[in-house]
Amino acid sequence: MTTVKTIIRDAPVEVCRPWLRYDLRHDAWTSLARAAATEGQVLLALWADTMKVHALFLDHADLTIVAVSTSAADGWYPALSPVLPAASLFERMIHDLWGHRAAGATDMRGWLDHGAWLLSHPMATRPGPPVQPDEPHHIDPDDAMILPLGPIWGPLDEAAHLRLALDGPWILQAEVRLGFTHKGTLALMQGKSPRIAARFAARLSGDATVAHSVAFARATEAAMEIQAPPRAVALRIAMMEIERVAGHLDTLGEVARLAEAPVARSQCGLLRETLLRASDTAFGHRLMMDCVVRGGVAADIATPGPHAILRALGDIASQLPGIRRLHDAPSLSSRLVGVGRAGGALAASLGVGGVAGRASGVAFDSRNGFMPEYSRFAPRVAVRHDGDAAARQHLRIFEIEESLRLIGAALGDLPDGPVTVALAPVSGEGIGCAESVRGTVWHWLRLDHGQIAAVFPADPGWGLWKLAERVLEHAVADDIDLIRASLALPASGMDL
C-alpha cells in the first residue's frame, strides 16, 4: 500500500531544520496528498517560493511533521484541494502572490489580490500587469436572500467579507473573502536580515505578536543551528503565556458582551487591562511587541516586572472562579450552548487546532511535542467534545488557569545568564512554531548569508475560516457576531 512514509522514503531531501524536506515529483506529490487524506494526516500549511511549492503535514498519531515540495518551475503544480479541502485558500493565495497555478484546483478565484494593486504576482521573479477585479461569489442560489457583510465590520473588528445565503433566519450557505488587510508583508521581509524582518513578523497579528515573533525567531535559530539562552527561553514562555491569558480574556469578554453578559464582560476587560499594564512594567510594551528577537529577547525583564506580573496574576486567579460561575449560570450558558457548533472530524480535517480544535475534540497543542522548552513545566491540555461556544468559553477559562501556573513557574525559577546569543550571517533553512491564542503558528524561512531568501508564516486563520464557513451553514443569522467572536476569527495574520 502507498503510504506517506513509502512515498517520501526514496525522495531526494533538503535539510529544513529541525526536519528534512522531501522533494517530490508531481505524481508523488499527488499520491502523497491522497495517502495523507487516507491516513488522517493534516495539512498545516501550503506556500511557495519562486521555483517550488511547499507543504507541511502533521501526523496526529505519532506527532511527526512531514515537509514536502514539488516543482512549480513551469508555472503550475498539481492541486491538493480535490483531496484536501484545507488546501483551497492556500492555493488561491499562492496564485495571487507567486503566479503558480494549482492544476485541477477546486477554486482558483483571487484571494488576496482584489484587482487594486498596480501589479500581479508580486512575489514572482517577474510580476505581471494588474488583474481585473473579479466577482468573488460562488453563492447565488435562486430562492435565497443574499446578505453581504463587511469588509468594514462592526466596530473594533478585523476586515473580512462574508456573503450569506439566507432562508428566513437560517443561513443556508456562507462564503468568506479575505485579503482586505493584505500589506505585502512577505515582500517586505524578503532580502532583509531576520533582525529587521522580525518587526514584520511581530505585526502579522497584534493579539499573537509574541507567538508570531517566537515562531519566527525559532525558525531563524533552527536555520542557523543556534539556541536562545535559558533565561531568554524562560522569559519567552512567560510572554507567550501572558499573551494567551490576555487574548483569552479579550475573547471571553467579547463573547460575553455579545451574549449580553455585561458583568462578565467588564470583569474580563479590567483583568486584561491589569495584565497589560504589568506587561508594560515588565517588558516595556503592553502587548510585548518587538520584545522577542532572534537569538533571545530584546531586553531582560525589568526589576519590578516579576512582582507586577505576579500581582496581576493574583487578581486574575481570585476572579476566575466568579467568571466561571457566570458562565455556568443559565442566563449566559443558555445563550452559548449549541451555538457555533464545530464537528470534531471537520475541525481535524481542516487542521484546526487551538481552542476551536480542542473544544471539538482535537487534542493538539504544539507546546506538547513541538516546543521542548515547555517540557519541564508539563503544560496540561484540556479537550472537550461539545464544540460549541459554551465549550470554547470553558476551555479558555481552563487555559487561563493553566497559563497562570506556567507564568508563575517560569518567572519563579528564572535561570541566570544572558538573554541573547551572537549570530553569524549563515545560510540555512528552518521551521519554528509557537502556540498562539488561536492555535499553532508555523514559520518557515530560508537564509542566504544571513538574509531572508524566502519566508512564510502560517497563521491559524487559514483553517479557522474554512471551519467558520461550515459552522455558519447551520446557524441563525442573528448568531453571526457571536460565532465570529467565539471562534476568534482573525484577518491580518493570514492576509499577510
Partner 1 sequence: MSPTSPPEPVDPAALDSLRARLDEAAQTRLGRSLAIRHINTGSCNGCELELRALHTALYNLERFGLRFVDSPLHADVLLVTGPLTRNLKAALEQARGATPEPRWVVAMGDCAVDGGVFRGSYAVLGGAGVAVPVDLTIRGCPPAPAMILAGLRTLLEANSK
The answer for residues whose C-beta is within 8 angstroms of residue 419's C-beta and 6 or more apart is 229, 231, 232, 235, 296, 297, 299, 300
Please tell me whether residue 131 binds partner 1 under the rule CB under 8 A.
Answer: no
List the one residue from 18, 82, 136, 269 that touches partner 1 (CB under 8 A). Answer: 269
At 439, give phi and psi (nearest 5°).
130, -175
- Taking the C-alpha atoms of residue 23 and residue 45, their distance in angstroms, rounded to an integer, is 16
Please tell me whether residue 369 binds ligand SF4 under the rule CB under 6 A.
Answer: no
Please tell me whether residue 116 binds partner 1 under the rule CB under 8 A.
Answer: yes
Closer residue to partner 1 in complex, CB, 123/472: 123
Closer residue to ligand SF4 in complex, CB, 105/208: 208
Please tell me whether residue 484 binds ligand SF4 under the rule CB under 6 A.
Answer: no
- Taking the C-alpha atoms of residue 495 and residue 185, their distance in angstroms, rounded to an integer, is 9
List the one residue from 164, 204, 234, 411 that touches partner 1 (CB under 8 A). Answer: 204
Least distance in Å: CB of 213 to ligand SF4? 13
Q: Per CB under 6 A, which of residues 195..234 are in contact with ligand SF4?
A: 203, 206
- Taking the C-alpha atoms of residue 140 and residue 312, their distance in angstroms, rounded to an integer, is 51
Least distance in Å: CB of 304 to partner 1? 14
- Taking the C-alpha atoms of residue 67 and residue 47, their distance in angstroms, rounded to an integer, is 11
Please tell me whether residue 494 binds partner 1 under the rule CB under 8 A.
Answer: no
Residue with cell 509557537: 434
Q: Could you say which DSSP state residue 73 is in?
A: T
Sign of CA dihedral 249, 250, 251, 255: positive
Q: Could you say which DSSP state residue 420 is in?
A: B
The answer for residues whose C-beta is within 8 angstroms of residue 135's C-beta and 6 or more apart is none
Q: Which stretch binds partner 1 (CB under 8 A): 38-46, 114-122, 349-357, 438-446?
A: 114-122
Please tell me whether residue 205 binds partner 1 under the rule CB under 8 A.
Answer: yes
- Taking the C-alpha atoms of residue 484 and residue 174, their distance in angstroms, rounded to an integer, is 13
Fill in the amino acid letter for 230. P
Q: Which stretch binds partner 1 (CB under 8 A): 100-108, 179-187, 302-310, 349-357?
A: 179-187
Q: Which three cell numbers stand for residue 388?
A: 460549541
Please tell me whether residue 418 binds partner 1 under the rule CB under 8 A.
Answer: no
Least distance in Å: CB of 289 to ligand SF4? 7
* Neighbouring C-beta atoms of residue 206, cutoff 10 Å: 15
Least distance in Å: CB of 242 to ligand SF4? 17
Cis amide leading into 379 (omega within 30): no
Please tell me whether residue 317 binds partner 1 under the rule CB under 8 A.
Answer: no
Binding site partner of 23, from partner 1, ligand SF4, none, Cβ cut-off 5-8 A by kind? none
Closer residue to partner 1 in complex, CB, 33/208: 208
Binding site partner of 159, from partner 1, ligand SF4, none, Cβ cut-off 5-8 A by kind? partner 1
Q: Which three cell numbers stand for residue 301?
A: 525583564
Q: Which residues pair with 16 in a beta bridge?
A: 19
Q: 190: closest CA among 496, 452, 457, 495?
A: 452
Please tell me whether residue 299 binds partner 1 under the rule CB under 8 A.
Answer: no
Q: Can you state the angle between helices 305-328 and 389-412, rounded to 10 degrees?
A: 160
Please tell me whether residue 392 binds partner 1 under the rule CB under 8 A.
Answer: no
Least distance in Å: CB of 399 to ligand SF4? 24
Closer residue to partner 1 in complex, CB, 124/421: 124
Q: Per CB under 8 A, which of residues 134..173 are in contact with partner 1?
A: 151-159
The footprint of partner 1 (CB under 8 A) covers: 114, 116-119, 122, 151-159, 179-185, 187-188, 199-200, 203-207, 209, 250, 253-254, 266, 269-270, 272-274, 276-277, 280, 286-287, 289, 315, 490-492
The footprint of ligand SF4 (CB under 6 A) covers: 203, 206
